[in-house]
Amino acid sequence: MLNNGPGNVMLALPVEEGKRSKASQAAKGKVGDWDPEGILKYDPERWLVREKGGGVVFNINAGPTHGFGAGPRACFGRKWANLELKIILLLIIWNFELEPTPEALSSFTAEEGMTRWPKQCYVRLKALP
């Protein structure tokens, strides 16, 4: 997971509302967007929001965030979460045979403009005896 995608260090990609899922449409506005002028600037105060009474509070949803973060102050549970992912992958490998997918589902192409989002991401599993 890279921390340099659209919406974090560059403007978010425009997506027509009609193409979004109902859940995505319902979540719109729950997380703010960064000001494009200062998107690359280090500004920890961008998470501080002024309340109606004049006080200042921290708002985790002021802009996009990363699940694990990066650098020396990254998520404390990241190693544990990665260990769980490795265990799940290992259990799949121990219990299933990975078979080739049909030609129509085998592709390395990515969504237009999104090099990290594959158009097709399929696996074909066969349970081992």
Report the predicted TM-score, pTM, of the whole model to 2 decimal places.
Answer: 0.42
Report which of 44, 74, 78 is spatially closest to residue 59, judged by C-alpha positions: 44
For the chain, 129 residues long, give each residue's pLDDT as a single digit of tens: 356 667 667 777 888 888 988 888 888 878 888 787 888 788 888 888 888 888 888 887 888 777 677 666 677 888 898 899 999 999 999 999 999 988 888 887 776 655 566 777 788 899 998
Locate the domains of the chain by residue range.
Answer: 1-75, 78-129
C-beta neighbour count of 34 within 10 angstroms: 20
Percent helix, percent strand, percent coil in the chain, to nearest 5: 35, 20, 50
Amino acid at 9: V
DSSP 55-97: -EEE-GGGS---SS--GGG--TTHHHHHHHHHHHHHHHHHHEE
2 near 116, Cβ under 8 Å?
yes
- Angle made by CA atoms 26, 28, 30, in degrees to the nearest 5: 105
